[in-house]
Structure 1
Amino acid sequence: MDFKDAIKQLADRVVKLKDNIQTEEATKNAFIMPFINALGYDVFNPLEVIPEMTCDIGTKKGEKIDYAIMKDEQPILLIECKHWKQDLNLHDNQLLRYFNVSKAKFGLLTNGIIYRFYTDLKEPNIMDDKPFLEVDITDLRDNQIEELKKFHKSYFDIENILSSASELKYMGELKAIIQNEFNSPSPEFVKMFATQVYDGRMLQNVVDQFTELVKRAISSHINDIINERLKGALTVNETKTDSSPKTNEVAAQQDQPTTQISDSKIVTTEEEMDAYRIIKAICRQKVEVSRIAFRDAQTYFSVLLDDNNRKPICRMYFNTGTKYVATIDENKKDVKHSIESLDDLYQYTDDYFKTIDMYENKE
């Protein structure tokens, strides 16, 4: 099993077991030790992993770090562990103290779900106050897996990690700034764009007007990018399915209304089909696209998992003045959200995923 598969397998394990993990020690055994093992280190070999390694801090003797990863008899990564429910923001000072008295170049603070990696980019031998890499193992991206892989025993290289750590740190900070500006544009940010399309003076009322316009323009542009990528993904998938007669038959059935043609009261609109294609493109990140189907009814249009009426992913209510998408709660009840356009369907991606997980876990 390669590293990527091992990490994804661990992620699945975390999702399934976390509600049964009641203590910090259980968190270590169920989540963190398997993570160390996935990095290629033998957790039972004291030449590679030392549990409860002593880190004396000044006059305070006997302080212990949960795990120390060793290389050439020297610690290279200190790991401080917490229970999976604990907020890591309350515990980074503890790792900082251990890091500052150790020869290790990297520190890791984790609760078995969130993994925060630290080093000393600002000042030598003083741990930075912010991690250069933070990952949620239940929501991993491919680029994050590649960064984690650098800590694998077979690939570990201090200079290589430090080089990428600097880029990751500044990239993370820039992304946070961009996100803040997108969510709540500052006057300077608004003026930067407004002065390129507006010739008048930038009075406060003008800035206020353009603040909302900039927010909407950003949102619209992001949605356009997402739409183009999803269309591309669907095109690739449809090309693949066309190569198999069996799969092509399934796809043809999915993209045709499952209601009886003779029932003239049920009319499947193009807008409903567009909504279905968007939901299908989103949910293909969770399940095979062939498992996503639709059924139309007089009052709503359903997107289903496995073409099963008892497994609705969401429902569209497009036959009224105000249009709604209904996500499904844990009791399989509709939770309606008003939408202005089909672009708003993307806002509820997490809800679709949670509903799919609910059905999958029950099975």
Structure 2
Amino acid sequence: MAAFHDQFLKLAEQIRRRLPHVHGEESTKQALILPFIGALGYDIYDPTEIRPEYVADFAKKRPGGPAEKVDYAIHLGGTPVIFVECKSADVALHNFSGQLARYFNATPACPVAVLTNGVKYMFFTDLEEKNILGEKPFFEFDVLSFTEADVEVLETFSRERFNPGGVREQAEEIIYTSKISGYMGSILRNPPESFTRFVLGELSVFAGKRLTPRVIEKFTPTIKRAIQATLLDMATRSIKDQAEPRAEAPVPAAPPKLEVPTVAPPQPVIKIDEKL
């Protein structure tokens, strides 16, 4: 995940530099959107994988004009799995696109549709009704403003990890996690009376005692400070764990050397001639 995150940090800097010079939809595609698709691991030069100006079999011609096209259809195993509709970088995105919906609704094999202006990416699927594109995105990614959690979700759409069959479950998980996180965040920032009453009721020191409005009012600031201290401690521990180098496996000690006694060579025997 770290390598994937670093890759998008670099992409963000690249897009930030290019953005002032991008004008029009075609420039947006070439300078911003194709690099994004490439960063997800798809081969933007392989026409069997990335099909620009994709015309589906069901596409009908506009009155007096050519057939409707989707800007990019990302294929895996010969099947379209992500439709991408592009807008110019200077166009504010709306939550819904009729053209994108028509393509999605008529292509049951494609589970994801993306609407983008090269900076913001809106991911849609059929959460409310099967094979009918939802009007609200289940996930949004801003290339110039994202968190590690955003990148973690985005990575599930990469070529290496994308599972077309699990998109509905994933979309539900993303939505529920977002809603629960928002709810928990509001509680932790400003604990309501019900939460304070619950916490005090769980503490043995208040067992059997009546939790009057006065007691609740008295201990609400205390609980708020305790929450802040706990969150700070958790963040500090997390940073410390990331900063500390992993303990290396101990190097096995070398076997002790055997001290071999040094044996002195035998001294030569000098014979003395007694006749001398």
TM-score norm. by structure 1 comes to 0.52
Paired position in structure 1 for 2:123: 117
Paired position in structure 2 for 1:248: none
How many residue pairs are counted as aligned between the two chains?
236
| Distance change in 2, residues 1:225/1:102 (3 Å) | same
- Bigger proportion of residues as strand: 1
| Distance change in 2, residues 1:118/1:215 (3 Å) | farther
1:219 and 2:225 equivalent? Answer: no
- Bigger proportion of residues as helix: 1
Look at both structures and tell me which one has the larger radius of gyration over its CA atoms: 2
1:100 and 2:132 equivalent? Answer: no
> Which residue identity does 2:120 align to in structure 1?
I
Deviation at 1:40, TM superposition (A): 3.7
CA contact (8 A) 1:3 1:149 kept: no
CA contact (8 A) 1:109 1:117 kept: yes
Measure, in 2, the Cα distance between the counterparts of 1:202 and 1:130.
44
Paired position in structure 2 for 1:200: 210
Measure, in 2, the Cα distance between the counterparts of 1:34 and 1:112.
9
Classify the secondary structure of the residue corresponding to 2:202: coil
- Across the aligned residues of Structure 1 and Structure 2, the Cα RMSD in angstroms comes to 3.8
Residue identity over aligned pairs, in percent, reads: 31
Deviation at 1:195, TM superposition (A): 3.3
Measure, in 2, the Cα distance between the counterparts of 1:100 and 1:202.
56
Paired position in structure 1 for 2:194: 188
Deviates more, 1:168-177 or 1:42-51: 42-51
CA contact (8 A) 1:3 1:38 kept: no
Classify the secondary structure of the residue corresponding to 1:215: helix
| Distance change in 2, residues 1:92/1:181 (3 Å) | farther
CA contact (8 A) 2:96 2:136 kept: no
Paired position in structure 2 for 1:159: 165
Paired position in structure 1 for 2:12: 11
Equivalent residues in 2 for 1:1-363 (5 A)?
4=4, 6-54=7-55, 62-84=67-89, 86-88=91-93, 90-94=94-98, 95-103=100-108, 104-140=110-146, 144-197=150-203, 199-203=209-213, 207=216, 210-233=219-242, 235-236=244-245
Point out where structure 1 has 5 or more consecutive residues left out of the alignment: 241-363
Point out where structure 2 has 5 or more consecutive residues left out of the alignment: 249-276
Measure, in 1, the Cα distance between the counterparts of 2:189 and 2:62.
46
Measure, in 1, the Cα distance between the counterparts of 2:20 and 2:184.
35
Measure, in 2, the Cα distance between the counterparts of 1:234 and 1:146.
20
Q: Provide, for residues 150-169 of structure 1, a one-character-per-residue CA deviation record: whole Å limited to 9, x for no partner.
A: 43345443235555444333
Higher relative contact order (CA 8 A, sep 6+): 2
Q: Provide, for residues 195-245 of structure 1, a one-character-per-residue CA deviation record: whole Å limited to 9, x for no partner.
A: 335533443x655555544433322221122233334455549x99xxxxx
